[in-house]
């Protein structure tokens, strides 16, 4: 119990030789104006004569403290009773009624003795002061309880506010920011960090730190912390709070890398609180401040309770993150499975019998065994995606997903987010963390179609992923390692684009590790009948059509068509024909195609025109010679063939050759 620092006692001036009854009356008046037990003690000083031999009065309260009030009104606090070198007769002890542990001691140290009248007066004074001191002690007790209750209320309010704030955030980044803000607001701590387990590394933690340094703006940082021998590892593994101060634990501050970093910022004390849930260690709350006195016993207990709530919030955020990632993964896996069902393209679905496609298949088999980047080149519709799927299916990654991305179909503003992902709050509308295509394809293959249409500003980031095998989400600062094989495809001339600075040359060389050139359909006419039959059967099954054959004439017409849209155009033509066919032979609408005429048809047409245009036979050899020479000049010396001189003259090749020999005409000289 401490004496009140605000109590002011006015000295009682009394004339000499007053009877002790009047002294009691004066002391009573003095007691009525006191506000605490120590001030009540001062009411006895100074006692008027003949009671001046009392040198001081000692009050022993039930808290084990002795308060001595001297004749000048000063109060001295002591842990022990008066033990001066005087006889026992100089000490008169009165136990106050109703409070057996409260004693009022009247002491004189002048060698004299207390008289009987003195003792009577002391008894009266004890009877007088008993209810006053008890009342004052009760008031002090109630006042202290009110202060304690107010303090507990404030602590509970802090605990409730912090709990509500941290539990309302389900994402790690938002949770970390809210924890730092709330702890700094309530406790004024300068450096606040959260070390959480890194999903990618078992022996390290990711530290999210916020510094509220004096006269500086708030700084946030994120870094990796190894667990070996650190104070954070000790707190995490032992599941205990640890308070370290520079003047008490100097060796730890010199050895621990994290403490060294905090010391460089001017911190003199650090408090490590484990974050756990159901005895599962989740991380450590790291608090540091330049003044060690900020970590009082009371504040440390409250911070420990807050850390327990933060542990629940961290577990909730981790569970929410896992659910979100699983949801995204399932959604993208569903898309991938639908693509697999709709486009069940595999190695067995590459229909070919031409030598050109045989060479392509051989290249596919060779590169599938490696993990190299593949660049598939070819016109639109040649089956670049089908080749990419076949390479993936033949590779060691076939049990992992193959994710497709069309660089030309995604707007430039969204391409980076779609490819690398983004964190919450990275841009307006980013309400959740989004996994990019690289993270979706983890362990598998990423197929980048139309790579030639990728914006120039995004190409350096793709190059970095191909070289370093790590990405950073949009709006994030955490490096995420990826294990993905990249297969790119384009119908553009990347080499020419690189020379014209329309495509990065370093990215082109990084993609062009193993190029595969797909021949257009017009260069492999032997495959057209096989493809036509395959598409007819597949589409007929899908549409429940009973189609038994394809007319040979129709196949011949299809083989002569140049197919600018390649295999995709052929499939579309077959699909249109299947729709128009109910049963029986396939009803191909050949009028929609500008199919060139056959060689025989061209020859007959030219012969007929030559016969129509043929003039009458020359009358002499000279005229015949001039006409043959003229026709040979028009045909560039070609005698035979559909565009030869024999056809234009309307005679057989052998006949023309015999006449040329007879007339001395040489095709070389013409």
Q: Per-residue pLDDT tens for 101-122?
A: 567 777 766 666 777 777 777 7
Same domain assignment for residues 137 and 228: no
Q: Which range, 59-68, 149-158, 191-200, 502-511, is most confident?
A: 502-511
Report the candidate in 512, 525, 518, 502 with the shortest Cα–Cα distance to residue 380: 518
Phi, psi (rounded to 5 degrees) for 219: -115, 135
Is the pLDDT reported for residue 487 higher than 90? yes
Residues 179, 199 contacting (CB under 8 angstroms): no
Inside any domain, residue 11: no
pLDDT band at 588 (very low <50, low <70, confident <90, very high): confident
Same domain assignment for residues 476 and 539: no
Proportion of the chain above pLDDT 70, given as a percent: 74
Same domain assignment for residues 423 and 302: no
pLDDT band at 345 (very low <50, low <70, confident <90, very high): very low
Cross-strand pairs, 275: 283
pLDDT band at 520 (very low <50, low <70, confident <90, very high): very high
Same domain assignment for residues 506 and 434: yes
Residues 433, 422 contacting (CB under 8 angstroms): yes
Is the pLDDT reported for residue 302 higher than 70? yes
pLDDT band at 89 (very low <50, low <70, confident <90, very high): very low
Same domain assignment for residues 511 and 656: no
Report the candidate in 48, 101, 40, 103 with the shortest Cα–Cα distance to residue 75: 40
Neighbours of 49 (CB within 10 A): 13
pLDDT band at 222 (very low <50, low <70, confident <90, very high): confident
Q: Which two tokens stand for residue 440?
A: 């979706």
pLDDT band at 635 (very low <50, low <70, confident <90, very high): confident
Confidence at residue 669, expressed as pLDDT on a 0 to 100 scale:
60
Residues 59, 159 contacting (CB under 8 angstroms): no
For residue 536, the surrounding DSSP H or E stretch is: helix 528-543
Is the pLDDT reported for residue 3 higher than 50? no
Report the candidate in 286, 293, 289, 292 with the shortest Cα–Cα distance to residue 310: 286
200 CB-near residues (< 8 Å, 6+ apart): 480, 481
Of 45-59, 252-266, 561-575, least confident by mean pLDDT is: 45-59
Of 13-22, 149-158, 404-413, 619-628, least confident by mean pLDDT is: 13-22
Confidence at residue 587, expressed as pLDDT on a 0 to 100 scale:
86
Question: How far apart, in whole angstroms, are the C-alpha atoms of residue 382 and residue 362?
Answer: 17
Q: Rounded mean pLDDT of 300-314?
A: 85
pLDDT band at 71 (very low <50, low <70, confident <90, very high): low
Give how many domains the chain has, as a whole number: 5
Q: Rounded mean pLDDT of 400-405?
A: 90
Structural domain including 202 reads 168-320
Inside any domain, residue 8: no
Neighbours of 126 (CB within 10 A): 19
Measured in whole angstroms, how far is the alpha carbon of residue 499 from the centre of its chain? 38
Question: How far apart, in whole angstroms, are the C-alpha atoms of residue 340 and residue 568?
Answer: 18
Is the pLDDT reported for residue 575 higher than 50? yes
Question: How far apart, in whole angstroms, are the C-alpha atoms of residue 24 and residue 508?
Answer: 108
**CATH code of the domain containing 543:** 1.10.8.60
Report the candidate in 239, 227, 236, 234 with the shortest Cα–Cα distance to residue 249: 234
Of 6-10, 599-603, 653-657, least confident by mean pLDDT is: 6-10
Question: How far apart, in whole angstroms, are the C-alpha atoms of residue 366 and residue 373?
Answer: 13
Q: Which range, 372-381, 435-444, 554-563, is most confident?
A: 372-381
Cross-strand pairs, 546: 583
Neighbours of 82 (CB within 10 A): 17
pLDDT band at 45 (very low <50, low <70, confident <90, very high): low
Report the candidate in 503, 510, 417 with the shortest Cα–Cα distance to residue 466: 510
Q: Of 126, 142, 158, which closes a domain? A: 142
Same domain assignment for residues 240 and 304: yes
**CATH code of the domain containing 68:** 3.30.450
Is the pLDDT reported for residue 153 higher than 80? no
Same domain assignment for residues 246 and 290: yes
pLDDT band at 96 (very low <50, low <70, confident <90, very high): low
Choice between 489 and 312, residue whose per-residue pLDDT is larger? 489
**CATH code of the domain containing 295:** 3.30.450.40
SS3 117: helix
Question: How far apart, in whole angstroms, are the C-alpha atoms of residue 606 and residue 426?
Answer: 71
Question: How far apart, in whole angstroms, are the C-alpha atoms of residue 55 and residue 68?
Answer: 10
Q: Of 552, 576, 592, which closes a domain? A: 592
Mean pLDDT of the chain: 77
Q: Which two tokens stand for residue 579?
A: 């729709």
pLDDT band at 86 (very low <50, low <70, confident <90, very high): very low
Question: How far apart, in whole angstroms, are the C-alpha atoms of residue 86 and residue 308?
Answer: 59
Q: Of 285, 320, 355, which closes a domain? A: 320
Inside any domain, residue 299: yes
Same domain assignment for residues 569 and 478: no
pTM (2 d.p.)? 0.46
Inside any domain, residue 253: yes
157 CB-near residues (< 8 Å, 6+ apart): none
Proportion of the chain above pLDDT 90, given as a percent: 16
Same domain assignment for residues 403 and 482: yes
Same domain assignment for residues 514 and 532: no
pLDDT band at 50 (very low <50, low <70, confident <90, very high): very low
Question: How far apart, in whole angstroms, are the C-alpha atoms of residue 84 and residue 88?
Answer: 10
Q: Treating both helix axes as pointing N-terminal to C-terminal, what angle do 116-167 and 297-342 enclose, rounded to 10 degrees?
A: 10
Residues 243, 190 contacting (CB under 8 angstroms): no
Inside any domain, residue 621: yes
Terminal-residue alpha carbon distance, the chain: 134
320 CB-near residues (< 8 Å, 6+ apart): 170, 171
Question: How far apart, in whole angstroms, are the C-alpha atoms of residue 302 and residue 292?
Answer: 16
Confidence at residue 388, expressed as pLDDT on a 0 to 100 scale:
92
pLDDT band at 488 (very low <50, low <70, confident <90, very high): very high
Choice between 335 and 562, residue whose per-residue pLDDT is larger? 562
SS3 649: helix
Is the pLDDT reported for residue 445 higher than 90? yes
Inside any domain, residue 335: no
Same domain assignment for residues 483 and 423: yes
Q: How many residues does the chain have?
A: 670
Q: Which two tokens stand for residue 277?
A: 């849930």
35: left (phi over 0), alpha (psi -120 to 50) or beta: alpha
Choice between 186 and 72, residue whose per-residue pLDDT is larger? 186
Question: How far apart, in whole angstroms, are the C-alpha atoms of residue 235 and residue 225?
Answer: 14
Inside any domain, residue 331: no
Inside any domain, residue 480: yes
pLDDT band at 617 (very low <50, low <70, confident <90, very high): very low
Confidence at residue 134, expressed as pLDDT on a 0 to 100 scale:
72
Q: Which two tokens stand for residue 225?
A: 């912390």
The alpha carbon dihedral of 326, 329, 335, 337 has a sign of negative
Confidence at residue 269, expressed as pLDDT on a 0 to 100 scale:
92
Q: Which range, 194-208, 445-459, 656-670, is most confident?
A: 445-459
Q: Which two tokens stand for residue 375?
A: 């660049």
Report the candidate in 437, 337, 448 with the shortest Cα–Cα distance to residue 388: 448
Calculate ∠ Cα 420-511-444, nearest 5°.
50
pLDDT band at 235 (very low <50, low <70, confident <90, very high): confident
Residues 194, 207 contacting (CB under 8 angstroms): yes
Of 125-134, 456-465, 530-539, least confident by mean pLDDT is: 125-134
Rg, the chain, Cα only: 51
Is the pLDDT reported for residue 239 higher than 70? yes
**CATH code of the domain containing 443:** 3.40.50.300
Same domain assignment for residues 305 and 260: yes
């Amino acid at each position: 119990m401490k004496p009140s620092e605000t109590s002011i006692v006015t000295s009682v001036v009394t004339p000499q030789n007053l009877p002790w009854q009047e002294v009691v009356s004066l002391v009573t008046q003095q007691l009525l104006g006191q506000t605490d037990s120590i001030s009540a003690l001062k009411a006895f000083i100074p006692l008027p004569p003949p009671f001046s031999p009392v040198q001081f009065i000692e009050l022993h309260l039930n808290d084990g403290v002795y308060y001595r009030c001297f004749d000048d009104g000063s109060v001295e606090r002591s842990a022990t009773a008066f033990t001066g070198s005087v006889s026992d007769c100089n000490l008169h002890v009165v136990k106050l009624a109703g409070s057996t542990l409260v004693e009022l001691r009247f002491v004189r140290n002048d060698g004299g003795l207390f008289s009987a009248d003195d003792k009577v007066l002391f008894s009266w004074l004890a009877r007088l002061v008993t209810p006053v001191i008890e009342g004052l002690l009760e008031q002090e007790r109630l006042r202290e309880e009110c202060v304690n209750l107010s303090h507990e209320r404030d602590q509970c309010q802090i605990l409730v506010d912090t709990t509500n704030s941290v539990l309302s955030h389900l994402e790690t980044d938002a949770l970390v920011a809210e924890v730092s803000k709330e702890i700094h607001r309530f406790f004024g701590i300068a450096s606040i960090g959260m070390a959480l387990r890194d999903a990618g590394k078992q022996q390290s933690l990711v530290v999210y730190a916020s510094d509220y340094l004096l006269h500086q703006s708030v700084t946030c940082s994120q870094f990796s912390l190894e667990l070996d021998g650190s104070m954070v590892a000790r707190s995490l593994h032992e599941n205990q709070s640890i308070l370290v101060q520079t003047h008490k634990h100097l060796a730890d501050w010199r050895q621990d890398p994290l403490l060294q970093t905090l010391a460089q910022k001017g911190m003199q004390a650090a408090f490590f609180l484990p974050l756990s849930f159901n005895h599962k260690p989740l991380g450590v709350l790291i608090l540091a401040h330049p003044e060690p006195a900020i970590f009082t016993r009371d504040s440390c207990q409250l911070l420990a309770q807050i850390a327990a709530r933060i542990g629940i919030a961290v577990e909730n955020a981790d569970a929410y993150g896992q659910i979100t990632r699983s949801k995204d993964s399932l959604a993208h896996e569903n898309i991938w499975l639908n693509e697999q069902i709709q486009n069940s393209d595999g190695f067995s679905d590459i229909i070919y019998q031409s030598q050109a496609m045989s060479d392509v298949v051989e290249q596919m088999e060779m590169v599938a065994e490696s993990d190299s980047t593949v660049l598939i080149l070819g016109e639109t519709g040649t089956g670049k995606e089908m080749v990419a799927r076949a390479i993936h299916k033949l590779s060691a990654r076939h049990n992992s997903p193959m994710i497709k991305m069309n660089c030309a179909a995604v707007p430039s503003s969204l391409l980076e987010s779609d490819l690398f992902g983004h964190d919450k709050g990275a841009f307006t509308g980013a309400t959740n963390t989004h996994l990019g295509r690289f993270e979706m394809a983890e362990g598998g293959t990423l197929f980048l179609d139309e790579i030639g249409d990728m914006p120039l500003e995004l190409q350096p980031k793709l190059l970095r992923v191909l070289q370093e095998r790590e990405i950073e989400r949009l709006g994030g600062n955490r490096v995420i390692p990826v294990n993905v094989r990249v297969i790119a495809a384009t119908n553009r001339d990347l080499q020419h684009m690189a020379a014209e600075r329309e495509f990065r040359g370093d990215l082109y060389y990084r993609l062009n590790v193993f190029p595969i050139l797909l021949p257009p359909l017009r260069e492999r006419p032997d495959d057209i009948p096989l493809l036509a039959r395959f598409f007819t059967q597949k589409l007929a099954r899908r549409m429940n059509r009973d189609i038994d054959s394809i007319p040979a004439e129709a196949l011949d017409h299809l083989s002569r068509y140049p197919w600018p849209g390649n295999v995709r155009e052929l499939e579309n033509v077959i699909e249109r024909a299947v729709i128009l066919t109910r049963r029986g032979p396939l009803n191909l609408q050949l009028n929609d195609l500008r199919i060139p005429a056959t060689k025989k048809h061209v020859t007959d047409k030219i012969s007929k025109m030559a016969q129509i245009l043929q003039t009458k036979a020359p009358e002499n050899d000279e005229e015949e010679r001039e006409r043959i020479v003229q026709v040979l000049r028009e045909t560039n010396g070609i005698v035979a063939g559909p565009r030869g001189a024999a056809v234009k003259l309307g005679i057989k090749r052998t006949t023309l050759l015999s006449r040329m020999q007879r007339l001395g005409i040489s095709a070389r000289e013409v």
